[in-house]
Amino acid sequence: MSSLAVHLHTSPELPNKVLNHADDIASTLAAVGIDYRQVELPAALRPGCEQAEFDAAYGLWLQAFMGNEGHVQQELFNLQRNHPQKLELRARYLDEQAQPSVSAWLFIGGFAQLSVHLDGYVYVLQGERGDLLTLPAGTRHWFDLGEEPHVLALRLSVSDEAPERTGDDIARRFPRLGD
């Protein structure tokens, strides 16, 4: 089950509220300009599946989805606990960053944690299969795969610009996935 914890940015240890219903998550995020919805996915795949299996199950669907949403760039996170680069990949996304253009996170299998820093609050989504979160351009966020990753997710964007680190250490003050 997906969940959203909402924290004051100065209170990482204690959320103001925790939501577990998709409608509540969607309305809370919509109030700050973030689109959250659940998407019907074409196939159930497990994290760590082969690239050919992913392409066969999602290739055409993803091409149409990206075209409909205006996305031109994708980055696949496909990790299991035994992935040889899991610590390096996790570390790459744990610092707060901002995407210069609109970006979206689509959770296909497993789970991961996406934290968004906006207007004095941090919204921590533990995303699961079918969750789609669309962030406006410039939204500060960080992504946690977990110490023992089990995730199949996509980061999509409307341009080929890479996210840039903000230099803010806020992500280090908030609990990590599995803490």
Q: Compute the mean pLDDT over every residue in the chain, rounded to the nearest whole number.
A: 94
Question: pLDDT tens for residues 101-157?
Answer: 999 999 999 999 999 999 999 999 999 999 999 999 999 999 999 989 999 999 999
Q: What domains sit in the chain, N to C, each tagged with a CATH number?
A: 3-172 (2.60.120.10)
Using the predicted structure, report yes or no on whether residue 179 has a pLDDT greater than 70. no
**pTM, two decimal places:** 0.94
Average of per-residue pLDDT across 45-68: 95
Asked if 125 and 114 count as a contact pair (C-beta separation under 8 A), the reply is: yes
Percent of the chain with pLDDT over 70: 99
Residues in the chain: 179
| 13 φ, ψ (degrees, to nearest 5) | -85, -15
What are the tokens at 138? 């410039």
Split at pLDDT 50, 70, 90, the class of 171 is: very high
Q: Which residues pair with 76 in a beta bridge?
A: 154
CA distances from 99 to 46, 63, 84 (A): 27, 21, 27
What torsion do the CA atoms of 120, 146, 21, 102 make, to the nearest 10 degrees?
60
